[in-house]
């Protein structure tokens, strides 16, 4: 049996690389779209950024109590394939959902691209 949205918790998560220009807008848009949930979280798994993505992630973490991120550092040295790195980051998200007590009560997980594609998402949609 599914909980009503007003009683459910949701995690929005996704990988990021060089998303400094879009990240803050994407996160706030996505979190606003799930405002009817009892509690919402956002988790970003970053790797290999050469822009100021890490600075943006730090600012978001300080500004939004429901936001967290993990930086995996320079994965491209160990994993040259883009799809391999994306799979690794997404699997890290799944590990967090399974083992991080912060997400123990999460009922829904939304995997999202964070590269500017979510601008038209609203609570109604």
Computed over every residue of the chain, the mean pLDDT equals 91
DSSP state at residue 124: -
Q: Residue 70: its pLDDT value, please?
A: 97
Q: Residue 2: its pLDDT value, please?
A: 81
Rounded percentage of the chain residues whose pLDDT exceeds 90: 86
Q: Residue 120: its pLDDT value, please?
A: 60
Contact 6, 37 (CB under 8 A): yes
Q: Residue 118: its pLDDT value, please?
A: 56
Q: Bridge partners of 40?
A: 10
CA–CA dist 25, 6 (Å, integer): 24
The closest of 25, 31, 29 to 43, measured between CA atoms, is: 31
Out of 16-20, 70-74, 94-98, 112-116, least confident range: 112-116
């Amino acid at each position: 049996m599914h909980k009503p949205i007003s009683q459910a918790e949701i995690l929005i998560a996704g990988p990021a690389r060089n998303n400094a220009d879009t990240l803050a807008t994407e996160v706030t848009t996505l979190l606003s779209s799930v405002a009817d949930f009892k509690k919402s979280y956002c988790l970003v798994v970053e790797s290999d950024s050469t822009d100021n993505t890490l600075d943006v992630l730090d600012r978001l973490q300080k500004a939004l109590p429901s936001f967290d991120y993990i930086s995996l550092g320079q994965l491209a040295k160990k994993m040259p394939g883009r799809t391999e790195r994306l799979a690794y980051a997404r699997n890290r998200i799944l590990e967090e959902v399974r083992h991080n007590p912060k997400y123990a009560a999460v009922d829904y997980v939304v995997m999202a691209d964070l590269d500017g594609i979510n601008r038209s998402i609203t609570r109604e949609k």
